[in-house]
Amino acid sequence: MFLCILRPALRATLFLRGSVARIILFFLFVLAFVPACSRSPAHEPDTIVMALDESPRNLDPRVGTDASSERLIQLMFSSLVKRSDRYDIEPDLAVSWEIPNPTTYIFHLRTDAKFHDGRLVTSRDVLFTFRSVLGGAIQTPKAGTYRLVESIEAPDDRTVIFKLKEPFAPFLWNLTRGAIGIVPDGSPADFAKNPIGSGAFKFVRYDPDSEVVLERNDSYYGNKPIVSRFRFKIIPEAIVRALELKKGSVDIALSVLTPDMVEALRGNRDLDVLQAPGTNYQYVAFNLKDPLFGDVRVRKAIAYAIDRNTIIKHLWRGQAQPATGVIPPSNWSYAEDVETYPYNPQRARELL
């Protein structure tokens, strides 16, 4: 479930079941909402302050994988393609692409994309980004994601050709924002200290364990943000984040409040809670090598014995919904006709 708490001046936010892609969509909503706000927050009027529960571990889009890093990276960096609200692949730095055979992808880059330092984004930057990952120039957990890339070529400044070792259906998905971001050709080893991207916001400063500040990129090729500046305030304690929301020194909080805190804040007339479908899910995994769990009757019995609706009602405070699989209902490939196991203790006993 995607949850949002908004202050009348800017309002604050919470995602309990949101994906990184939805976080970006939420930002677009906030930026559109701001002009209608009538009261000023207790900080700079042109700045949105967001609470983070932990410091970003690495702001290099080739490296950072934690939630805090990815939220910031998606605001600062562009990639070849991006995901829509229904998880379709859409143009980003690439205006179009071709797949002449299952192992060849040809991307044609836009001509108006610039890095935050004014340099045009070209195919050389794309080559550098991926070659630094594949060649081991940087140490990154993302290297395995692109292990099937056999070669990358740039016949001109606006064309990039990937050749794969074998067909790999998720390849385009692995090129989207959030998966990786394009960095300038020749970026130094300490790039994460002063990241330069081509996204809607550019890096200003990072004070470890305190805050990260981004400001609007007026040269952004897409829709220009209305908000001038974002301050990401790092607040490890959940109760402090809630108090900061109440007093107005924080406007947005993403996935950093407990369900009980959300319910407590619903009664605050200076805060509104918005809700929409999300994509995160929790599940029980079975070790099928264990003879006990290798028996499908045991697995079904456990499924029938879990009272999901009661868990959602009392533990999640209604801020979730039962999942039928790993694909959310908002995804274009979601299928409703799957077998489910509604709470039925009698059926569970019968199976055992």
Angle at 125 between CA 120 and CA 128, to 5 degrees: 165
pLDDT of residue 329: 84
CB-CB contact of 320 with 279 (8 Å): no
CB-CB contact of 6 with 274 (8 Å): yes
pLDDT of residue 36: 35
pLDDT, tens digit (0-9, with 9 covering 90-100), for 176-191: 998 999 999 999 989 9
Per the listing, tokens 């949850």 go with 3
Range of the domain at 308: 296-351
pLDDT of residue 32: 42
Name which of 144, 211, 216 is nearest 179 in CA terms: 144
Residue 39 in domain: yes
Residue 213 in domain: yes
Listed as ranges, residues in the chain with pLDDT below 70 are: 1-43, 274-276
Residue 148 in domain: yes
Residue 123 in domain: yes
CATH code of the domain containing 177: 3.90.76.10
Q: 305: which DSSP letter?
A: H
Residues 102 and 125 in one domain: yes
Q: What is the dihedral of CA 59, 179, 148, 332, to 10 degrees?
A: 180
pLDDT, tens digit (0-9, with 9 covering 90-100), for 88-122: 899 999 999 999 999 999 999 999 999 999 999 99
Question: What does the alpha-carbon distance between residue 48 and residue 350 come to, in Å, rounded to a whole number?
Answer: 56
Name which of 137, 143, 153, 150 is nearest 174 in CA terms: 143
pLDDT, tens digit (0-9, with 9 covering 90-100), for 322-342: 988 888 887 778 888 899 999
pLDDT of residue 331: 78
Give the pair of three-digit tokens for residue 227: 């908000």
Residue 247 in domain: yes
Residues 182 and 86 in one domain: yes
- pTM of the predicted model as reported, rounded to 2 decimal places: 0.78
Spell 188-205 as b/e; 16+ CB within 10 A means b.
Answer: eeebbeebbbbbbbbbee
**Number of domains into which the chain is organized:** 3
